[in-house]
Amino acid sequence: MSASRLRGRPDRIFVSVDESTGKSTLSFAPPDAGDPVQHDDDKTGSRALADAQEILTRYPGATIHGPHFHAARPPARPRSRRRT
């Protein structure tokens, strides 16, 4: 599925999972190999890893890095204003 979206041969495939939203992302190096691919409701990264394996069969020699788990940055607090 994702292998058909690529514009070139990826050297590395990165799998990252945002634990706070449950989204997984596949990204590639070099960046011009293809746009990042996101999967909703993939808290374990299993769908992203399956896609990465599929890409690996089409482009042998590429390496998979991850899944790397992280949490989205919390929203910034509003700055307090000084009273004059």
Report yes or no: 2 and 26 within 8 Å, Cβ to Cβ. yes
22-43 average pLDDT score: 91
User: Strand order in 37-39's β-sheet?
Assistant: 37-39, 23-29, 12-18, 63-70
Q: Which domain range does residue 60 map to?
A: 12-70
Which pLDDT score is estimated for 81? 76
Which pLDDT score is estimated for 84? 65
Pairwise CA distance, residues 46 & 32, whole Å:
25
Residue 35 counted as domain residue: yes
How many Å from the N-terminal Cα to the C-terminal Cα in the chain? 60
Residue 84 counted as domain residue: no
Domain count, the chain: 1
Residue 76 counted as domain residue: no
The pTM for the full model equals 0.77
